[in-house]
């Protein structure tokens, strides 16, 4: 069983990708636990397995070998639709490329995930307005992504990640496409969310940002090489 308080545990997780004749060992026996209310940073060189690990933590992907436990339950025993429910309700994702839908306005982008959870229109709109206020973007609600700066798009993406009130927010290099000042501001938003009770796991290249996390996991060649807390 997972230790009490661990929301997610990876236990000896291996991930192998087969690319024609080539086998890529993306993860080689990763074991880690993510506890309630933590702020964890994941660092490591490009190709070290950061995104693969975070996708495992987010139940977006299953390991080739090893186990993932959510609240102490082995997720390999869940059906695909149960996993989709968990992802939709308990986990929010933020990506380096923002991944906003270009044809939708800021507020429509934020409302979209609630559509899949069957939330009525008026409720979706009200919740999206509140979240846009939270990230100081309520005055840009009707702008398309192309009319917003990178930092503004990422704030919209953070608002979108929060719509279903997830316990865990996973951010894969959320500041990777931003200048350092804007990146620091995004980090401040994530810190604020953490203080309000969200568990945050953030991949970053930036030592200055990683230092602001409570705990840093260093990956190299698909293995955890260092763990600072």
Ligand X SMILES: Nc1ncnc2c1ncn2[C@@H]1O[C@H](COP(=O)(O)OP(=O)(O)O)[C@@H](O)[C@H]1O
Q: Where does this chain bind Mg ion (CB under 5 A)?
A: 50-51
C-beta closer to Mg ion: residue 16 or 55: 55
How far is it, in rounded angstroms, from Cα 39 to Cα 194?
7
C-beta closer to Mg ion: residue 97 or 117: 97
Indicate which of Mg ion, ligand X, none lies near residue 52 (CB less than 5 to 8 Å, by partner kind): ligand X
State in angstroms the smallest separation of the CB of 52 from ligand X: 3
> Taking CB under 6 A as the rule, does residue 105 contact ligand X?
no
Nearest to 160 by CA among 41, 152, 57: 152
Nearest to 193 by CA among 134, 137, 136, 118: 134
| Ranges within 48-87 binding ligand X (CB under 6 A) | 48-52
SS3 sequence of 154-178: HHHHHHHHCCCCCCEEEEECCCCCC
Tell me, residue by residue from 177 to 196, as one string, x for binding to ligand X by CB under 6 A and - for no binding. --------------------
Pinpoint the alpha helices (H) of the chain. Answer: 50-57, 80-90, 106-116, 121-134, 150-161, 180-195, 207-210
How far is it, in rounded angstroms, from Cα 28 to Cα 14?
5
State in angstroms the smallest separation of the CB of 226 from ligand X: 15
**Part in contact with ligand X (CB under 6 A); list of ranges 3-11, 46-54, 79-87, 160-168:** 46-54
Indicate which of Mg ion, ligand X, none lies near residue 160 (CB less than 5 to 8 Å, by partner kind): none
C-beta closer to ligand X: residue 49 or 58: 49
14 contacts 65 by C-beta, under 8 angstroms: yes
Of all residues in the shown chain, the one whose CB is closest to Mg ion is: 51
Nearest to 216 by CA among 90, 32, 62: 32
State in angstroms the smallest separation of the CB of 202 from Mg ion: 12
How far is it, in rounded angstroms, from Cα 82 to Cα 68?
15
Query: Which residues are at the interface with ligand X (CB under 6 A)?
Result: 17, 19, 24, 26, 44, 46-52
């Amino acid at each position: 069983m997972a230790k009490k308080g661990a929301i997610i545990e990876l236990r000896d997780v291996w991930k192998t990708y087969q690319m024609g004749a080539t086998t890529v060992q993306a993860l080689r026996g990763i074991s880690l636990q993510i506890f309630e209310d933590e702020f964890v940073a994941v660092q490591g060189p490009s190709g070290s397995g950061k995104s693969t690990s975070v996708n495992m933590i987010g139940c977006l992907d299953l390991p080739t070998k090893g186990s993932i436990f959510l609240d102490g339950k082995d997720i390999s025993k869940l059906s695909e639709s149960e996993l989709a429910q968990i992802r939709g309700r308990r986990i929010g994702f933020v990506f380096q490329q923002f991944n906003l839908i270009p044809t939708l306005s800021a507020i429509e982008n934020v409302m979209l995930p609630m559509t899949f959870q069957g939330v009525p229109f008026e409720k979706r709109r009200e919740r999206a307005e509140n979240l846009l206020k939270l990230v100081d973007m309520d005055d840009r609600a009707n702008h398309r992504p192309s009319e917003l700066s990178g930092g503004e798009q990422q704030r919209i993406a953070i608002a979108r990640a929060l719509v279903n009130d997830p316990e865990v927010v996973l951010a894969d290099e959320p500041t990777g496409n931003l200048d350092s000042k804007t990146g620091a501001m995004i980090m401040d938003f994530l810190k604020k969310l953490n203080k309000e009770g969200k568990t945050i796991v953030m991949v970053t290249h930036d030592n200055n940002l990683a230092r602001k996390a409570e705990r840093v996991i260093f990956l190299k060649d698909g293995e955890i090489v260092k763990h600072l807390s």
